[in-house]
Amino acid sequence: MVRRKNLALVSVSVGAVFALAGAFYLALSVAVGFAAEEADGPENASAAETLPTEVSTTQPLGTIDELSGSVASTLTKSATKIPWVELSVGDCVDLNASPADIRQVACGDINSRYKVTELASAGGHCPGDVDRAQPRTLPGGVDQTLCLDIDWTVGECLDMAGDAARHVDCAADVPGRVRVLEIRHDTTDVNVCTIGDRGVVYDERRYVVCVSTR
């Protein structure tokens, strides 16, 4: 009887030890897990804050017409604002009041106003009989003057009534219209115009433009 009682006591003691060990292990696991969550929390929050915002694919982006209109508007602005154009003698230009508005065009074109006859560098001057002298600044700050005559294109018609000559349809009924018939060089005599009824004389450079008002 005594031996059985002692065995029972030993069994109870061993069971108690295992129970205490299990409880300790459980408590330790909970503590470690809690600490891990505390350590991971700020990092996860930071990662969540840096995630890109999702954009809905159903968000309207505008119609094709609207988008193409925007592109066309941009292209138009780029095409019309030309702050610098490289020009050579013989080129024709459409020139407004500002030198930044110079556009190179084909000679005889409806928009052609003048032909470049000389390019005067800094300190230089255009001949005294040019129709227009237009100063401008080249890239790098170098000054240049465009020496310009009216675009007298033989066979074309010009309206001479306004502030600046402009090309017009020869069939149009324009009061100031003249037709360019020929250009005679090395002379200042208007009588060399054997055809036409008018002559425009450039005395310094010695040439005559023969025109007809009919």
Instruction: List CB contacts of 128: < 8 A, sequence separation 6 or more.
Output: 204
| Confidence (pLDDT) at 98 | 62
| Confidence (pLDDT) at 65 | 34
Residue 119 and residue 134 in contact, taking contact as beta carbons nearer than 8 Å: no
Residue 182 and residue 195 in contact, taking contact as beta carbons nearer than 8 Å: yes
| Confidence (pLDDT) at 83 | 52
| Confidence (pLDDT) at 137 | 83
Residues with pLDDT less than 50, the chain = 1-21, 24, 26-28, 30-39, 41-82
d(CA 93, CA 86): 11
- pTM of the predicted protein model: 0.58
Position 147, amino acid: C
Please report, for the chain, the start and end positions of each structural domain, with discontinuous segments joined by +.
77-151, 152-214
